[in-house]
Amino acid sequence: MSFAIHHLCDLLGGTVKALWEKNDMLMKGGMTKYGFKGMPASHGASLSHRSIGSTGQRDAPGRVFKGKKMPGRMGGKQRTVMNVWVYKIDPRRNLMWVKGQVPGAVGNFVFVKDAVYNKPDISQLPFPTYFAPEDEDDELLEPITADLGDVDPFMAAD
């Protein structure tokens, strides 16, 4: 049994949360990570062109202050946008239309989860959420739209 957008039809007209994970770029230096200018390429700057420069003082305080911008891991962070409204579901193309901010760049994958703040009672959850009939033709399926009421949600001010 494969997962299809039919499983999310109960979210139509409700809210979901959208999660996106930035690319993990592993170790990066100060110039890439923070946009530091770097050192001069001449006048005795030997092997320090891309270094971050000084990291602190001498004897007093004799340590590196917290928050000092130093080389390290870059990226790999997760962004979550809560309460994105599900507007339409197209089961034929496995697409979901939402209203609200969606994190990430164009063409990236976004994880969509139910925006449940309190854990539901497990005994009341429907299982399985959808069984496709054997004679169902995917080409005949029409998009399912949420009840919009009197006002178009895309034209109304927030």
Gyration radius of the chain's alpha carbons: 25
User: Does the pLDDT value for residue 150 go beyond 80?
Assistant: no
Bridge partners of 85, per DSSP, are 15, 99
Dihedral through CA 20, CA 26, CA 30, CA 35, nearest 10?
A: -30
pTM of the model: 0.59
pLDDT grade for 151, boundaries at 50, 70 and 90: low
For the segment 97-149, what is each residue's pLDDT rounded down to a tens digit?
888 888 888 888 888 887 777 666 666 666 656 666 777 777 777 777 777 66
